[in-house]
Structure 1
């Protein structure tokens, strides 16, 4: 069953800055956490007259508002997965049509933009309308207008009413935040207005960036007051928004606003609307970094008070080495359902397809689509991870990586990382635990639940050269670089005579580790290398089995004073964030807000020569693609030209 509705929505600001929203059709959607179908009312019955008559119907509309949450656990929807340089896929796009990846190869355009969150087009493998966020905001406004009216939904308890209003206020804020991050200054859609409003009053006008931040921040503050600190009904309500979630998103918002892309960026000095209003702040504000640090610390305190902590693998009935237990800690921090590190896990976004496109073929038999191994990490991403001493491989004074592309044979003492006696690249030895937890590679151990030995001895191993099991023998289902994405595949994945089984999990939108690094970054920018910066970075390093920053750089780096300056520590934090948050869609947005994208995204995508069967030939680096990121144009996504033609109050982003 479907419904239609015509509504008009007010834009916050000048009375002229409004938008007329036309008819839309909402389809059946589901929120997996609550297992409820969002079937609002029977056909041919006015929506608003029925949706808010009683609690059960209003609850369906609540879940409709949730249903627009972007599906970041699906590599076809997550903008950050394939829009940058962190992951690459085969050219054939075999059962994997990625518009984000087409954008990464220079295909982004203003006529029909890829990953168009503004309208909802060209996402998820098809050009159709999927989840335009203005539509989501419109639904939120309808809900708020009606549920705030205490003459409606009379059977709704007062505490539930306050909570539901807070949840949808958060969603309204989050959808604005998502659009702001992608497009820069946006309209601020706040209230419904009368359908008889004149055309001049419903035109869209983009608001200055700082006003957008203030508006979204205020909504998040408003929501946080009536959100629960934790979910107590874990049977039916997991995935619903809590106070720590709202505070964490506020911290992300303010960190973004403080970052170089948006904080006094000279590239945007002349960017104004048609009335001559500047859309970006002209000068840098150091206070924005302080505000971001304060917000991150408040979010951390709220999350920890609610029970959040860095995940630790509890062990299993199998006999496992400390090495494998540490890797499972790091892997399960992502894949273990509803674990204590997940401040916000999104059940609207599941991960079956993500795991299938990441998984290499480890066992004979089964269909090729069971383990497609299409998501590949370029060589520069493999090189980003630290040495086993916890410093960059080009800084380690004790371990020599100058010959990183030569071959080496694994010793027995290295058997939990690389198969004993297997010849592979020197780059794959002497690396930190997150390298082995996150990446699979030719000769690399891939321990999982159905290990043939029931332990991590004589267990699964990736064999990735051409003609081997995980080799590039299937058109479209192969790994382009030779580095497979282990981090996102749950260790409970099993092979059997009946095929494969993946244990699904809700996508972790925000982890506590993310907040720790956000706080450390903002605090370093506002105060320099003070103790709390090291404390929160070192918490993450300790969990990864590494020494703290100061000790590691003093003991192992040829640049021991690097952590003593703000600039040096900034570089360390950026790399630490790149490693810890790898393959979660964070790198793309981080490099853009740091204004590093023009430098980094213009480096070639390289990998091993995966179409070679001989070891020496396979381990020859090859250039797969040379990207072309155009600055400042590509820092912001284009608004569709048609929308600007229809509404002359909109202005296009620079360069488009």
Structure 2
């Protein structure tokens, strides 16, 4: 078996949680040894690792990641997310700098794995009573499962690093204070991918298919295999197999891979199909697209892995239209996105929306893909007890302070039944893996190495034709390139605002094409007879340069060790 060059990571050591610091959070009355031996402390430790999973909802300085892509504009101009859009971010000032947080999670996972065998169960082991012996067996099994959870979480944190930075320093144990920081270096991209895949596979063998309700949100076998699937999809995609954007970078092994693309696509397809075929998982597409993203959705069979959050109303305050009590309307979908939802014809065919078509332009939200109305609040649509007024002079439109610049507000994830003045809250869950993503990843990978395979259309159509959506099947007889475009379109619509878009565009190496386009919206004027005139407008010019395909390594890390090579262009 290949041996990896695991580097003991150090860079964020002084800023992340050490073993003693973590124990101090739990109690100030125990020693480090007592904490390592304690079953209850160990349970708290494994639970604490989950808190370092990126939250998703308002992850970039109070904004959704969607507002750093062509999906939306964030209304608050002072938010750091705007730096992605105007190109002013760099290795010192990156609004999405999760380097420290992700390595903190990795260190916590390593600390847990190093100390989990020290948990003292003698109280039950040495008691011959049947009840104590059963507790002993149960706790042994729990500890073994916790180890698999820690390995999965560590692999997931590494994936989040790799998709941002390429190859990063790998370490399989917690760093000590006497490590020689000047010697630490980045592992190759291939080594990082191999580690994530192998750890996902190992974790899957020790994780259950599902949990009782009180433990929903913990890592499962399906989650580990879904992580493997996503990593292999990235490994097969254009960005990690084409370093032409990097301008003769001196360390190509940090950002690109060698080997057959067909083999990589096949591995990605096989990994996705392994999740789809996972016996006993109970996974299925949920019958209500809207409810997948609002309160208590963590229990639905489409959800493979989710970050469960406490009950809150902060997201609603940030995103209710400004005409509603306490609404700030910050995440405003773009016309770029809205135009991508297809139009249904009287013959039950789906065609692209076209502003040059008078019927489309005069009534732009009629007969659209149902997911548009389930994702976006548009003018005159019904929401929270009235029709939304996004026209000039309306309650939610131009002329109102902080009104949407794009002519839209976000519906997806916002639970419209909360009364914010009364402080009502709902449970939020950020879904990290769900079945429709796996279907589309399987179709994409299969189309790249085995075009024409009937499974490709089958799984794309399953997503399009779920209950409550019921879009027409994609046309038959598509070429490989035409099917590729269909899959790109379907991911854009199905996974909107879920944190995929900017990363998909990067891995496809389409970001320079799409993220450099002006972000568009719509101007809406109400006519004297109660109708509306819709005119597409440019809201903001956007910037994306080739170097932005990968994030810069934070400058502080490269200053600590000259062997930490910066990414190209930064």
1:106 aligns with 2:64: no
User: TM-score, structure 2 length as denominator?
Assistant: 0.87
Q: 1:402 aligns with which of 357, 375, 378?
A: 357
- Give how far 1:66 is off: 1.4
SS at match of 1:239: coil
Counterpart secondary structure, 2:96:
coil
Matched, 1:519 2:488: no
Distance, in Å, in 1 between the alignment partners of 2:518 and 2:122 is 58
Q: Is there any run of 5+ residues in structure 2 with no aligned partner, and where?
A: 125-135
Give the equivalent residue in structure 1 for 2:473.
548
Distance 2:183 2:121 in 1: 30
* Deviation (angstroms), 1:72: 1.0
Matched, 1:575 2:495: no
Higher relative contact order by CA 8 Å / sep ≥ 6: 1 or 2? 2
Pairwise CA distance, 1:382: 0.6
Q: Distance in 2 between matches of 1:182 and 1:404?
A: 43
Distance verdict in 2 for CA 1:349–1:114, change over 3 Å:
farther
**Residue aligning to 1:211:** 191
- Distance in 1 (alpha carbons) for counterparts of 2:56 and 2:74: 17
Higher share of residues assigned helix: 2
Q: Do the aligned partners of residues 91 and 356 (structure 1) sit closer, same or farther apart at CA in structure 2, a change above 3 Å counting?
A: closer
- Match for residue 401 of structure 2 among 475, 486, 489: 475
Q: Is the aligned partner of 1:358 residue 2:319? A: yes
1:38 & 1:334 partners in 2: Cα distance?
Answer: 35
Q: Shift of the alpha carbon at 1:391? A: 3.2
Contact in 2 for aligned 1:350/1:505 (Cα 8 Å): yes
CA contact (8 A) 1:352 1:503 kept: yes
1:108 and 1:613, CA in 2 relative to 1: closer, same or farther beyond 3 A? farther
Q: 1:54 to 1:114 in 2, by over 3 A?
A: same
Q: Return closer, same or farther for 1:438/1:14 CA change in 2, 3 Å cut-off.
A: closer
User: Counterpart in 2 of 1:290?
Assistant: 266
Match of 1:641 among 542, 551, 555: 555
Greater CA deviation, 152-161 or 108-117? 152-161
* TM-score in terms of structure 1 length: 0.76
- Structure 2 partner of 1:347: 308
**1:181 aligned to 2:181?**
no
Partner SS state of residue 622, structure 1: strand
2:379 maps to 1:442: yes
Map of 1:79-118 to 2, 5 A cutoff?
A: 80-93=65-78, 97=79, 99-118=80-99
Q: Deviations over 1:49-87 (max 9, x none)?
A: 232221111111112211111111335467732221211
Distance 1:20 1:651, change over 3 A: closer
Indicate the SS of the match to 2:523. coil
| Rounded Cα–Cα distance in structure 2 between residues aligned with 1:643 and 1:514 | 34
Shift of 1:526: 1.4
Q: Does 1:135 align with 2:104?
A: yes
Q: 1:355 to 1:20 in 2, by over 3 A?
A: closer
Contact 1:251 1:296 in 2 (8 A): yes
Per-residue deviation at 1:359? 2.0
1:462 and 2:388 matched: yes
- The answer as to whether partners of 1:254 and 1:292 remain within 8 angstroms in 2 is yes
Check conservation: 1:81, 1:588, Cα contact below 8 A: yes
Query: By how many angstroms is 1:257 displaced?
Result: 0.8
How far does residue 428 in structure 1 lie from its aligned partner after superposition?
1.6
Query: What is the distance in 1 between the residues matched to 2:26 and 2:493?
Result: 47
Q: Alpha carbons of 1:16 and 1:260: their partners in 2 closer, same or farther (altered >3 Å)?
A: closer
1:120-150 per-residue CA deviation (whole Å, 9 max, x = no partner) reads xxxxxxxxxxxx2111111111110011446
Corresponding position of 2:151: 169
> 2:491, 2:286 → 1: CA distance?
17
Instruction: Specify the alignment match of 2:426 in structure 1.
Output: 503
Shift of 1:586: 1.1
- How far apart, CA to CA, are the structure 1 residues paired with 2:381 and 2:538? 23
Question: Aligned runs of 1:582-593 on 2, under 5 Å?
Answer: 582-593=496-507
| Within-5 A mapping of 1:178-327 | 178-192=160-174, 196=178, 199=180, 203-232=183-212, 234-235=213-214, 237-268=215-246, 270-273=248-251, 279-282=255-258, 285-302=261-278, 305-312=280-287
Shift of 1:608: 2.0
Alpha carbons of 1:24 and 1:638: their partners in 2 closer, same or farther (altered >3 Å)?
Answer: closer
Task: For structure 1, list consecutive stretches of 5 or more residues without a partner in the other structure.
Answer: 1-11, 28-36, 120-131, 313-328, 408-425, 452-459, 552-560
Which secondary structure state, in structure 1, belongs to the residue aligned with residue 289 of structure 2?
helix
Following superposition, the deviation at residue 114 of structure 1 comes to: 2.0
Q: CA deviation at 1:283?
A: 5.6
Which position in structure 2 is the counterpart of 1:122? none
Shift of 1:360: 2.0
Deviation at 1:593, TM superposition (A): 0.6
Q: Which whole-Å deviations, capped at 9, do the CAs of 1:530-580 have from their partners, x for residues lacking one? A: 1111111111111121121126xxxxxxxxx5x2x1111000011011110
CA deviations on 1:65-117 (whole Å, 9 max, x unpaired) are: 11111111335467732221211022544xxx3x2332222121122322111
Counterparts in 2 of 1:194 and 1:362: CA distance versus 1, 3 Å: closer
- In the alignment, structure 1 residue 333 sits paired with structure 2 residue 292: yes
Equivalent-residue separation in structure 2 for 1:620 and 1:175 (angstroms)? 44
The alpha-carbon distance between structure 1 residues 340 and 401, as it changes in their structure 2 partners (threshold 3 A), is farther
Deviations 1:326-376 (A, max 9, x none): xxx22112225222211112114777323332222566xxx4x2x222211
In the alignment, the residues of structure 2 paired with residue 143 and residue 153 of structure 1 have an alpha-carbon distance, to the nearest angstrom, of: 20
In 2: Cα distance, 1:502 partner to 1:613 partner: 38
Residues 278 and 109 of structure 1: is their aligned pair in 2 closer, same or farther, counting only changes over 3 Å?
Answer: closer
2:272, 2:5 → 1: CA distance?
32
The answer (yes or no) to whether the contact 1:375–1:485 under 8 Å persists in 2 is yes
- The 8 Å contact of residues 182 and 636 in structure 1, kept in 2 or not, is answered as yes
2:523 pairs with 1:627: no
Task: Give yes or no for contact 1:80–1:589 (8 Å, CA) kept in 2.
Answer: no
- Does structure 2 retain, via aligned residues, the 8 Å contact 1:374–1:480? no
Q: Give the secondary structure class of the aligned counterpart of 1:228.
A: coil
Q: Write out per-residue CA displacement over residues 385-444 of structure 1, whole angstroms, 9 at most, x where no aligned residue.
A: 11125534158xxxx96236743xxxxxxxxxxxxxxxxxx2222211111211111112
Give me the whole-angstrom Cα distance separating, in 1, the residues matched to 2:414 and 2:77. Answer: 23
Which of 450, 461, 467 is the matching residue for 1:538?
A: 461
8 Å contact 2:166–2:254 — kept in the other structure?
no
Q: Verify the 8 A CA contact 1:311 1:339 in the aligned structure 2.
A: yes
